[in-house]
Amino acid sequence: MTQQKKHSLVLEALKNPTMMRDLDVGQWNALLLQGQLLKLSGRLACDAEASGIWDELPPKAQQVLTNARVSVAAQQRKIMWEVNRIRRALVGFDGKVILVKGGGYIAGGLTCAQGRHSVDIDILVARKNIDLVEDYLLKAGYESQILNEYDQHYYRDWAHELPPLTHPDRMVEVDVHHNILQLTNKLSPQIDLMIEAAVPQEDNIFVLAPADMLLHSIVHQFVDGTLKGSLRNLLEQHEMITEFGQSSGFWADFMDRAEQLGLRRPVFYCLRYCQHFFGTSIPQEVLAISAVAGPGPLTLKMMDMAVINSMVPYGEGRSRVLDYLATNGLYLRSHWLRMPPMMLFSHLTRKSLRRLKRA
Report the C-alpha gap between 124 and 207 in whole angstroms: 9
Report the C-alpha gap between 167 and 141 in whole angstroms: 6
Helix 264-278 and helix 210-222, axial crossing angle in degrees, nearest 10: 80
Residue pair 334/223 in contact by the 8 Å Cβ criterion: yes
State the DSSP H helix or E strand holding residue 207, giving kind and residue range, or none if neither. Answer: strand 205-207
pLDDT tens digits, 83-129: 999 999 999 999 999 999 999 999 999 999 999 999 999 999 999 99
- Residue 55 pLDDT: 96
Residue pair 295/302 in contact by the 8 Å Cβ criterion: no
How large is the average pLDDT for residues 121-146? 95
Residues 238-256: b if buried by 16+ CB within 10 A, e if exposed? bbbbbebbeeeebbebbbe
Name the residue with higher pLDDT: 329 or 227.
Answer: 227
Q: Would you say residue 150 has pLDDT above 70?
A: yes
Name the residue with higher pLDDT: 84 or 341.
Answer: 84
DSSP calls for 311-327: SS--SSS--HHHHHHHH
Domain ranges of the chain: 9-358
How large is the average pLDDT for residues 160-165? 91
- Residue 313 pLDDT: 66
70 confidence band (pLDDT: 50, 70, 90): very high
Q: Would you say residue 326 has pLDDT above 90?
A: no
Q: Would you say residue 350 has pLDDT above 80?
A: no
Report the C-alpha gap between 192 and 185 in whole angstroms: 17
How does strand 165-166 pair with strand 143-144? antiparallel
Edge-to-edge strand list for the sheet holding 97-100: 143-144, 165-166, 173-177, 120-124, 97-100, 205-207, 199-202
- Residue 134 pLDDT: 96
Q: Would you say residue 4 has pLDDT above 50?
A: no
* C-alpha count within 13 angstroms, C-beta hemisphere, residue 133: 25
- Whose CA is closest to 12, among 46, 35, 29? 35
Ranges of H-type helices in the chain: 9-15, 25-37, 41-50, 59-89, 102-107, 130-139, 149-153, 191-196, 210-222, 231-244, 250-260, 264-278, 284-291, 297-310, 320-338, 341-358
Region of poorest pLDDT, from 21-25, 85-89, 166-170, 307-311: 307-311
- DSSP 3-state of 339: coil
Name the residue with higher pLDDT: 251 or 226.
Answer: 251
- Residue 3 pLDDT: 44
How large is the average pLDDT for residues 156-181? 92
How large is the average pLDDT for residues 66-95? 96
Report the C-alpha gap between 95 and 167 in whole angstroms: 22
**Percent over 90 (pLDDT), the chain:** 71
Tell me the sheet residues that pair with 207: 99, 199
pTM here is 0.89
Region of poorest pLDDT, from 66-75, 163-172, 176-185: 176-185
332 confidence band (pLDDT: 50, 70, 90): low
Report the C-alpha gap between 17 and 45 in whole angstroms: 10
* C-alpha count within 13 angstroms, C-beta hemisphere, residue 104: 23
- Residue 5 pLDDT: 40
Region of poorest pLDDT, from 103-112, 226-235, 238-247: 226-235
pLDDT tens digits, 252-291: 999 999 999 999 999 999 999 999 999 999 999 999 999 9
- Residue 312 pLDDT: 77
Residue 237, amino acid: Q
Report the C-alpha gap between 158 and 237 in whole angstroms: 28
